[in-house]
Chain A
């Protein structure tokens, strides 16, 4: 942050951020439990809390909480844009990290992922000369270094729900799932079509079959996620 920012009150310039010492062994045990749980999609779903429509001055919004991650997504639009006539809606995604842990580069990466996901899914032709803005607020993050793509999959799910809440026409529900071992997030529609994929693994895949296995596993998980999202939406909350 620039200290020359006169619009904000930033305080003295020579402040050092707080650095906390290494955490104790207790948290390592917890990590193990988390890893086991990462394999069990059903128990993850039962621990997830979703609520829609909390933000009244947005066109649609959702709030998602899972295991120390808190995300709020609000949708503004379709609203008129300035300039010349456009046949399609323009989509823009903004991610605001309240926890100050996501780097600018990753922020950009996350935004691009969500934007690419939903450009294919939103019926853009239906809203000419307008724009849709997706504002993602990350309020709390748990173990970002290890689970950064888990967070991305949660953001993607929250965005789907928010879009549905806003009444914007989409082709299908996007459900995203995450694989810890390969550090991969994949977003599916129509149970087997992939609309987004991001993988950041240190491992080198020996052949395509390895990756196929991951896709298959995540595909199954995503069906479960999708079903539970539908259940939530049908329950009328």
Chain B
């Protein structure tokens, strides 16, 4: 009995092929005009979002002691993004000239050069938000490169988009005091016009946002951007007051012949009931889209041509070896697509807020990407998520 050694063809199920040869798997899909995630080339992933009920102001939250000011939970495919917004209060630096008669002399030495002030001028009214991104992947330790890059990009894009102005983060401070009947009441500037509390100092809110991401399946910037915007739209800022007992204490001190005063830190407490909506510059709000440009491998498509002749392949005629894929998802697309575009537009879709290009991208793909992202942003705005 002699057996001929036989080379058997091994069949892999799609999931295994995607693992061992992502490029080939992707090319085979593209050759028949589909993507591994079964979307077409220019089809975005759907996004579902709600407020998540994590905020203390949320109507569905039974827990009104939380210090979360706004929240959102986003789901897109299997990916879940949880965004929570928290706050802090910071005392604004008082300009020397308001406080100090010798300001001119001090400024002559310490004040910044005018040139550097001009450079910053564009951003002077724009308030930042401080993001922390955590992607759950079953490991502990310091943040990964991706997490750090996302935080940095989010911080910069947010600041330069001018979505939040500093004026909307001002704390209008009230005063907690006892009235004639010995009852405790809190006086705010807007309710009582006679009441004029005039602290020389002023305070601002600082906003932090934290993202928890589960089941990552593709580039995340678009998703965290949507969830940030949605959470900010729900965000409320509490009223705040100073307790009369703790307000404005000056303690004179004398030290080696110099007289001075120590000013007591104001203890600011937030009102547990009253709040204002956070005001955003709505016309600046647009959404983000990501794209990958991939060139079609002719060998793979030729092999399949006989079987798939009737399939319509949606490829740009002028440039028929490169394909624009929107909203990348899955290992195959992420590994194979080295040429990436990310676009953030404003609300009208006229201006770009951010544009990131990586790799070798031709003009027509870029133009198409920008057009698509404008449409996408409009669609999301109309959806009012």
> Chain A interface (Cβ within 8 Å of chain B)?
7-12, 14-24, 27, 54-58, 67-68, 70, 72, 74, 76-77, 94, 96, 98-100, 133, 135, 137, 139-143
Cross-chain contact of B88 among A18, A24, A141 (Cβ < 8 A): A18
Which B residues are in CB contact (< 8 Å) with A140? 53-54, 61, 63, 66
Q: How far is the CA of A57 from the CA of B80 in the complex (A)?
A: 12
Contact A7 B89 (CB under 8 A): no
Q: How far is the CA of A111 from the CA of B88 in the complex (A)?
A: 29
Contact A18 B216 (CB under 8 A): no
Given A15-B206, A100-B67; A57-B137 close (CB under 8 Å): yes
Given A9-B155, A18-B238; A99-B68 close (CB under 8 Å): yes
Smallest CB gap from A133: residue in B: B138
Which A residues are in CB contact (< 8 Å) with B238? 18, 20
Smallest CB gap from B78: residue in A: A56
Q: Besides the contacts A11-B88, A18-B89, A96-B212, what 13 more A-B pairs have beta carbons closer than 8 Å?
A: A16-B88, A16-B90, A17-B88, A20-B65, A55-B136, A55-B214, A58-B215, A68-B61, A100-B67, A137-B212, A141-B63, A141-B66, A142-B65
Q: How far is the CA of A226 from the CA of B120 in the complex (A)?
A: 62
Contact B67 A72 (CB under 8 A): no
Q: How far is the CB of B94 from chain A (nearest CB, A)?
A: 14
Contact B214 A11 (CB under 8 A): no
Which B residues are in CB contact (< 8 Å) with A15? 88-90, 206
Which A residues are in CB contact (< 8 Å) with B87? 18
Cross-chain contact of A98 among B78, B88, B210, B271 (Cβ < 8 A): B210
Cross-chain contact of B80 among A54, A67, A98, A143 (Cβ < 8 A): A54
Contact A74 B61 (CB under 8 A): no
The answer to the question of B157 belonging to the interface, with a C-beta cut-off of 8 Å to chain A, is no
The answer to the question of B364 belonging to the interface, with a C-beta cut-off of 8 Å to chain A, is no
Given A67-B62, A139-B54, A139-B82; A98-B212 close (CB under 8 Å): yes
Q: How far is the CA of A183 from the CA of B86 in the complex (A)?
A: 30
Cross-chain contact of B143 among A7, A22, A139 (Cβ < 8 A): A7
Given A7-B148, A10-B130, A58-B138; A142-B269 close (CB under 8 Å): no
The answer to the question of B11 belonging to the interface, with a C-beta cut-off of 8 Å to chain A, is no
Considering only residues 244-274 of chain B, those with a C-beta below 8 Å from chain A are: 267-273
Which A residues are in CB contact (< 8 Å) with B13? none
Contact A21 B269 (CB under 8 A): yes
Contact A8 B78 (CB under 8 A): no
Contact B88 A143 (CB under 8 A): no
Q: How far is the CB of B97 from chain A (nearest CB, A)?
A: 22
The answer to the question of B131 belonging to the interface, with a C-beta cut-off of 8 Å to chain A, is yes
The answer to the question of B198 belonging to the interface, with a C-beta cut-off of 8 Å to chain A, is no
In the complex, 12 of the A-B residue pairs with CB atoms within 8 angstroms, ordered by the A residue number, are A8-B151, A9-B131, A15-B90, A15-B206, A17-B67, A18-B89, A20-B67, A23-B65, A54-B214, A57-B217, A99-B66, A143-B63
Which A residues are in CB contact (< 8 Å) with B217? 56-57
Which B residues are in CB contact (< 8 Å) with A139? 54, 82, 212
Q: How far is the CA of A98 from the CA of B63 in the complex (A)?
A: 14
The answer to the question of B208 belonging to the interface, with a C-beta cut-off of 8 Å to chain A, is yes
Number of residue pairs A-B, CB distance < 8 angstroms: 124
Cross-chain contact of A11 among B62, B84, B134, B206 (Cβ < 8 A): B206
Contact A14 B89 (CB under 8 A): no
The answer to the question of B132 belonging to the interface, with a C-beta cut-off of 8 Å to chain A, is yes
The answer to the question of B142 belonging to the interface, with a C-beta cut-off of 8 Å to chain A, is yes
Given A9-B155, A135-B138; A24-B273 close (CB under 8 Å): yes
Q: How far is the CA of A24 from the CA of B273 in the complex (A)?
A: 9
Q: How far is the CA of A143 from the CA of B62 in the complex (A)?
A: 10
Q: How far is the CA of A141 from the CA of B90 in the complex (A)?
A: 27
Contact B130 A21 (CB under 8 A): no
Q: How far is the CB of B365 from chain A (nearest CB, A)?
A: 30
Smallest CB gap from B273: residue in A: A24
Which A residues are in CB contact (< 8 Å) with B63? 68, 140-143
Contact B136 A137 (CB under 8 A): yes
Smallest CB gap from A70: residue in B: B54
Smallest CB gap from B203: residue in A: A16
Which B residues are in CB contact (< 8 Å) with A68? 61-63
Considering only residues 143-165 of chain B, those with a C-beta below 8 Å from chain A are: 143, 148, 151-152, 155
The answer to the question of B283 belonging to the interface, with a C-beta cut-off of 8 Å to chain A, is no
Smallest CB gap from B79: residue in A: A56
Smallest CB gap from A143: residue in B: B65
Q: How far is the CB of A6 from chain B (nearest CB, A)?
A: 9
Most B CB contacts (10 A, CB to CB) among A10, A27, A68, A74 go to A68
Q: How far is the CA of A27 from the CA of B62 in the complex (A)?
A: 10
The answer to the question of B140 belonging to the interface, with a C-beta cut-off of 8 Å to chain A, is yes
Contact A72 B214 (CB under 8 A): yes
The answer to the question of B104 belonging to the interface, with a C-beta cut-off of 8 Å to chain A, is no
Contact A9 B82 (CB under 8 A): no
Considering only residues 36-94 of chain B, those with a C-beta below 8 Å from chain A are: 53-54, 61-68, 78, 80, 82, 84, 86-91
Which A residues are in CB contact (< 8 Å) with B142? 7
Q: How far is the CB of A222 from chain B (nearest CB, A)?
A: 25
Contact A11 B208 (CB under 8 A): yes
Given A7-B148, A18-B89; A74-B269 close (CB under 8 Å): no
Cross-chain contact of B269 among A11, A19, A27 (Cβ < 8 A): A19
Which B residues are in CB contact (< 8 Å) with A141? 63, 66
Q: How far is the CB of A184 from chain B (nearest CB, A)?
A: 23
Contact B215 A56 (CB under 8 A): yes
Which B residues are in CB contact (< 8 Å) with A14? 90-91
Query: Which 3 A-B residue pairs are closest in the complex by CB-CB distance?
Result: A76-B138, A68-B63, A15-B88
